[in-house]
């Protein structure tokens, strides 16, 4: 492996993902997602719903092609004890498409469920 290969892996360009993203649907579940660079190609993701601040987590990033230097997707895990939320997001045509997979680990009887929402960027 060459140094260039290592750097290509370590330094995906995050500019497509960075920013303050708002739900296109005012009645949506997740209201806001803020993606920030955290150095060395890392990304942090801060998520809010109308009722809860999910907080900030590190999120691995992914390119759209195997030889790309541009990150176009991320995955973020939130663990609330009684429930876990797995966010999988990618940018398509300037829209952040977010799949939220929620699983419950309490005794409420609620079904694990899947949701998909769309976000526009208000600022980088």
Partner 1 sequence: MLPLPRPRVGIESMAGHWCKTNDSAQWIDSLEIVVEGDGLVVHVYGGGAGPTPADWGSARTDIVYASNVLSGDAKAGAFIARFELPEAQVEMQANLNLGLLVVATYVSFREPGAWANRFTREFFRREDGA
Could you tell me the smallest distance in angstroms from the CB atom of residue 123 to partner 1?
24
State the burial class of residue 98 (Cβ atoms within 10 Å of its Cβ: 0-12, 13-18, 19+): buried
Q: What are phi and psi of 5, to 5 degrees?
A: -65, -40
Q: Is residue 33 at the binding interface for partner 1, with CB under 8 A as the rule?
A: no
Chain centroid to CA 36: 11
As a whole number of angstroms, the distance between CA 107 and CA 3 comes to 51
Q: Is residue 14 at the binding interface for partner 1, with CB under 8 A as the rule?
A: no
Q: Which of 10, 1, 5, 124 is nearest to 63 (CA)?
A: 10
Could you tell me the smallest distance in angstroms from the CB atom of residue 94 to partner 1?
16
Residue of 23, 31, 47, 90 interacting with partner 1 (CB under 8 A):
90
Q: Is residue 9 at the binding interface for partner 1, with CB under 8 A as the rule?
A: yes
* Number of shown-chain residues binding partner 1 (CB under 8 A): 38
Interacting residue ranges for partner 1, rule: CB under 8 A: 1, 5-6, 8-10, 12, 60-69, 72-73, 75, 86, 88, 90, 99, 101-104, 107-116
């Amino acid at each position: 492996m060459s140094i260039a290969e290592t750097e290509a892996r370590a330094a995906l360009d995050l500019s497509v993902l960075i920013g303050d993203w708002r739900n296109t649907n005012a009645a949506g579940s997740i209201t806001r997602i803020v993606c920030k660079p955290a150095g060395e190609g890392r990304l942090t993701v801060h998520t809010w719903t109308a009722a809860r601040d999910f907080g900030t987590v590190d999120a691995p990033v992914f390119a759209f092609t195997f030889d790309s230097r541009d990150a176009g997707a991320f995955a973020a895990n939130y663990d609330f004890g009684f429930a876990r939320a797995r966010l999988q997001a990618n940018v398509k045509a300037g829209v952040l498409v977010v799949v939220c997979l929620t699983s419950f680990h309490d005794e409420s009887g609620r079904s694990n469920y899947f949701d998909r929402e769309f976000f526009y960027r208000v600022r980088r």
